[in-house]
Chains A and B, each alone.
Chain A
Amino acid sequence: GAGVSQSPSNKVTEKGKDVELRCDPISGHTALYWYRQSLGQGLEFLIYFQGNSAPDKSGLPSDRFSAERTGGSVSTLTIQRTQQEDSAVYLCASSPSTVRQFFGPGTRLTVL
């Protein structure tokens, strides 16, 4: 079966614009996670979904960041009024309700 897919693979935007990043998890995986990976840094947890609910949003860095998940499947991470410090690789992972997480290839976001 297909793995986790993310789109776009690369996104270049201008400071102040809004961006949407998409994640298609592995079919049947109830848990979904978003992480941010900046150059030279580890993975920074952003948000966790169980089904369509987000019991843990503690990692979202500011109110410019939001995420939703619909139908227990696709998730969208939205960043409003992007800033240069938002430049990073945004990784999505899904999990069949266990700790093991399957990662997508990421979206590389560059804010000019």
Chain B
Amino acid sequence: TQLLEQSPQFLSIQEGENLTVYCNSSSVFSSLQWYRQEPGEGPVLLVTVVTGGEVKKLKRLTFQFGDARKDSSLHITAAQPGDTGLYLCAGESGSGYALNFGKGTSLLVTP
């Protein structure tokens, strides 16, 4: 099993602050996905990154895939209460179907 370590495990910030969460592994992934999960619901895909060094932006969210395709980061600018949730990264190793998930970063944004 290719392990994905996410940090921090918990993050509590105030509305308007910026934050970065990390997803690290010693393994190379062919692609990496970020999901957000809200209580009582399943994870929802935010983005997939495929190319080493790739940067993708989704409104206030910026995702980066490491050059070596072993790590990724998610940066949120001017966080809002609606960003609250569990952020999960998942790596795909080339099988075409199997995803390895990290344990997630639980984010709380207070007004």
Contact = CB atoms under 8 A, between A and B. Distances in A.
Using C-beta atoms within 8 Å of the partner chain, give the interface range for chain B: 20 to 34
Interface residues of A, number: 24
Contacts of A91: 42-43
A33 B42 CA distance: 13
B25 to A, nearest CB: 12
A105 B45 contact: no
B44 A45 contact: no
Interface in B22-62: 31, 33, 40-45, 48
Contacts of A19: none
Interface of B: 4, 6, 31, 33, 40-45, 48, 88, 90, 92, 96-104
Interface of A: 4, 31, 33, 35, 40-45, 48, 50, 56, 91, 93, 95, 99-106
10 contacts: A4-B42, A43-B43, A43-B88, A43-B90, A43-B101, A45-B98, A99-B96, A100-B33, A100-B45, A100-B48
